Amino acid sequence: DTAVSQTPKYLVTQMGNDKSIKCEQNLGHDTMYWYKQDSKKFLKIMFSYNNKELIINETVPNRFSPKSPDKAHLNLHINSLELGDSAVYFCASRQGIGAGGVNEQFFGPGTRLTVL
């Protein structure tokens, strides 16, 4: 039973191409996230959606566009890929965003993107 799944697991592409990464969670969670982890393992939040509504939008290039067709899915589309986009992208989810309470997030296995 995969809780948070991502496709593809590996993605190798040329500079300038457009690519998408898909994420699905079967935990019934309301909130989903995209993170970028660079080569030094630094994990940085990019976006967060709650019930298909964007709630966190960090300072990322507008070449990155998230899309949530329903609360179980959060996709990431990247236009005009650059060398610096090479990283591991993680999707995560959690139940609710109510005030208080710990934000326990469940992460997917990651998508390793290599831009040549």
Binder among 64, 108, 113, 115 for other proteins (CB under 8 A): 108
Say if strands 10-13 and 111-115 run parallel, antiparallel, or are unpaired. parallel
Assign 3-class secondary structure to 15-42.
CCCCEEEEEEECCCCCEEEEEEECCCCC
Interaction between residue 65 and other proteins (CB under 8 A):
no
Residue 50 lies near other proteins (rule: CB under 8 A): yes
Taking contact as CB under 8 A, which single stretch among the options 15-23, 48-56, 64-72, 75-83 is the one that binds other proteins? 48-56
Say whether residue 21 binds other proteins (CB under 8 A). Answer: no
CA distance 81 to 33: 21
Quick one: 45 or 72, whose CB is closer to other proteins? 45
Helix (H) or strand (E) holding 14: none
Of 13-21, 47-55, 61-69, 78-86, which segment contacts other proteins by CB under 8 A? 47-55
**Which tokens sit at 17?**
């191409």
Among the listed residues 45, 60, 67, 86, the single contact to other proteins using CB under 8 A: 45
Sheet holding 73-78, edge to edge: 4-7, 19-25, 73-78, 64-70
Instruction: Tell me which of 11, 34, 90, 93 binds other proteins, using CB under 8 A.
Output: 90
